[in-house]
């Protein structure tokens, strides 16, 4: 107190003129502080978005078709939009420039995921490559998947497994000539058999029994992806998560338990036979994962939970995604006769009518690859990708993106943006010829598998499977609609996009040599 008094005396504070000067200085400083705070708030403001209601925010107004709903919001509010969903702030990215900021400029900040409760249950607590937080464990899982398990070199070693299942599909379709075929179901059956063969050598089931098991799996996978995409009170009000008010986690756990029992059976069988010569020589992914688990680095070991979570990723992420893409591609080809004609002409020139399609032909089919790319542009199989989550509050396009908000990148809207695509709603594979655009996320006008360090680990596998099966179906058969039917390409939203109405076509063998169908 005495020091303060002496200080004021030094300033001659009690002089009236000095008092007035001091008060003006104090007022000016106060006004500067207010101005700075307001300026900071203006500079750090949240993105624009629709007004909500107390407590619930924008939840009551969500449209189930989220990809089109988010696109409409983007047209109204701009390239970056904010929604308040209960206690959760949701950010929607609708333009290439903003996507570039999120996935390239601030890649590390947005490298985490906002894990939905249903996704957490589906992957043993979020221990898979999709939901694991960015860090040493994720890098280990990524290395196992992208470098050792799903690299081109690794995929080459299991080509015969893929070839066997694709040829089985051709053999099964041959006697069904003239009958209707559900393209999506057939595609799923083939991809499912390929995936399970690559994982653990497939099953000993045959014919109708095998189809029945695949149909059951398809229903399970479809239900699981729908549960992950379904708005969940537990996600928007974390304090209520333990109550599971909508029963979503209970439904998911029931489905996961079925798959988990299959995984346990295959793992136990493999471990029991670990010393047998035949088992040691197996070249499937389960054998590889068990070996990695036993030889893992002690700092970041591959645990049994993570191993099963990776199996779950392969079964869920590798089946519906590829088969739905094939179904969309076939639908677009049937709807566009000129596209069908060019694709068939290319296949005839490259493969011929006295031979069958092999994976080695894929690199010589640029037009068909353009068909696949255009299919993924119009119908990206993950229309909103997997939700990102910033590890710290970040400025994007002059707006504040709060830490732990849920960030959706609306790749569906970006790839249909008329500012970046000529005639964006037209199916035109020509736009992808001459090496334009790749599928690896290097151009933020086109990145169907995401971009940055959290892009899809199975891009090479997806490309091979879609191209190989699509080329085989088109080369081996002519396809037509049932009389009186029209092609309807309507989408049904989910974390995995699908056709609202199944594509049903009639195949006719187009190769004269019947031995090519064995």
Q: How many CA atoms lie within 13 A of 426 on its CB side?
A: 10
Low-confidence residues of the chain, pLDDT below 70? 1-44, 202-207, 274-283
Find tokens 């979570």 and name the residue: 309
| pLDDT at residue 14 in the model | 43
pLDDT of residue 210: 72
pLDDT of residue 38: 47
The per-residue DSSP string of 398-454 comes to TEEE-TT-EEEE-HHHHTT-TTTSSSTTS--GGGG-TT---SSSSBTTB-TT--GGG
Question: How many CB atoms sit inside 10 A of residue 100's CB?
Answer: 18
| Residue 484, pLDDT score | 87
**What is the residue extent of each domain of the chain?**
2-43, 59-517
The pLDDT score that the predictor gives to residue 27 is 57
65, 188, 96, 114: which is closest to 377 by C-alpha?
A: 96
pLDDT at 39: 47
Question: Comparing C-alpha atoms, which of 320, 312, 260 is closest to residue 494?
Answer: 320
Give which of 322, 294, 320 is closest to 307, Cα–Cα: 294
pTM over the 0.85 mark? yes
pLDDT at 506: 98
pLDDT for 15: 52
- Tens digits of residue pLDDT in 176-191: 999 999 999 999 999 9
- Reduced to 3 states, what is the DSSP secondary structure of residue 160? helix
Query: Would you say the C-alpha torsion 210, 215, 217, 218 has a positive or negative sign?
Result: positive
CA distance 500 to 91: 27
Both tokens of 23, joined, read 């008060």
Q: Exposed, middle or buried, 412 (CB in 10 Å: 0-12/13-18/19+)?
A: buried
Query: Can you tell me the distance from the alpha carbon of 325 to that of 83, in angstroms, rounded to the nearest whole number?
Result: 30
Grouping H, G, I as helix, E, B as strand and the rest as coil, residue 53 is strand
Q: Which CATH superfamily is domain 59-517 in?
A: Cytochrome P450 (1.10.630.10)
Q: Check the CA dihedral 311-314-316-317 and report its sign.
A: positive
What is the distance between the alpha carbons of residues 210 and 201, in angstroms, rounded to a whole number?
Answer: 14
The pLDDT, as a whole number, for residue 23 is 52
Q: Which contiguous run of DSSP H or E holds residue 117?
A: helix 117-122
The encoded tokens of residue 292 equal: 């990695």
Nearest 5°: CA angle at 466, between 460 and 470?
150
How are beta strands 406-409 and 88-93 bridged, if at all? parallel
């Amino acid at each position: 107190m005495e020091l303060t008094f002496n200080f004021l005396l030094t300033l001659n504070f009690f002089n009236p003129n000095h008092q007035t000067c001091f008060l003006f200085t104090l007022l000016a400083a106060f006004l500067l502080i207010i101005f700075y705070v307001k300026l900071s708030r203006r500079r750090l403001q949240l993105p624009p978005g629709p007004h909500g209601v107390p407590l619930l925010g924008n939840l009551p107004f969500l449209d189930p078709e989220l990809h089109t709903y988010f696109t409409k919001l983007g047209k109204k509010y701009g390239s970056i939009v904010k929604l308040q969903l209960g206690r959760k702030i949701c950010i929607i990215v609708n333009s290439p420039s903003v996507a570039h900021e999120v996935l390239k400029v601030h890649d590390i900040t947005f490298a985490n995921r906002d894990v939905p409760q249903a996704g957490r249950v589906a992957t043993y607590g979020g221990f898979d490559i999709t939901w694991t937080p960015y860090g040493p464990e994720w890098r280990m899982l990524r290395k196992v998947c992208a470098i050792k398990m799903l690299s081109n070199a690794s995929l080459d070693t299991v080509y015969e497994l893929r070839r066997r299942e694709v040829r089985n599909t051709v053999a099964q379709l041959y006697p069904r000539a003239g009958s209707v075929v559900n393209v999506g179901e057939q595609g799923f059956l083939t991809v499912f058999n390929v995936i399970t063969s690559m994982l653990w050598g497939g099953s000993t089931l045959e014919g109708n029994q095998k189809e029945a098991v695949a149909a059951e799996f398809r229903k399970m996978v479809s239900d699981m992806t729908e549960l992950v995409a379904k708005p969940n009170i537990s996600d928007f009000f974390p304090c209520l998560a333990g109550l599971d008010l909508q029963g979503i986690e209970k439904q998911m756990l029931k489905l996961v338990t079925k798959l988990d029992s299959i995984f346990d059976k295959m793992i136990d069988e493999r471990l029991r036979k670990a010393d047998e010569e035949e088992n040691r020589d197996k070249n499937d992914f389960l054998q590889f994962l068990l070996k990695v688990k036993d030889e893992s680095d002690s700092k970041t070991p591959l645990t049994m939970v993570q191993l099963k979570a990776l199996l779950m990723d392969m079964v869920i992420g590798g089946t519906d995604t590829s088969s739905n893409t094939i179904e969309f591609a076939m639908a677009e080809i049937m709807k566009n006769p000129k596209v069908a004609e060019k694709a068939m002409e290319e296949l005839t020139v490259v493969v011929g009518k006295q031979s069958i399609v092999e994976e080695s032909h894929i690199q010589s089919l640029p037009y068909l690859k353009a068909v696949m790319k255009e299919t993924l542009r119009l119908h990206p199989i993950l229309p909103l990708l997997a939700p990102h989550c910033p590890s710290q509050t970040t400025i994007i396009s002059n707006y504040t993106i709060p830490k732990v908000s849920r960030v959706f990148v609306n790749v569906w809207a970006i790839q249909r943006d008329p500012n970046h695509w000529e005639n964006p709603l037209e199916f035109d594979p020509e736009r992808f010829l001459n090496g334009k655009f790749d599928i690896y996320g290097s151009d933020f006008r086109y990145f169907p598998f995401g971009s940055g360090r959290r892009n899809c680990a199975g891009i090479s596998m997806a490309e091979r499977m879609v191209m190989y099966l699509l080329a085989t179906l088109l080369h081996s058969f002519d396809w037509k609609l049932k009389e009186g039917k029209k092609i309807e390409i309507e989408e049904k939203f989910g974390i995995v996009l699908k056709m609202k109405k199944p594509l049903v076509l009639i195949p006719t063998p187009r190769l004269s040599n019947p031995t090519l169908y064995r």
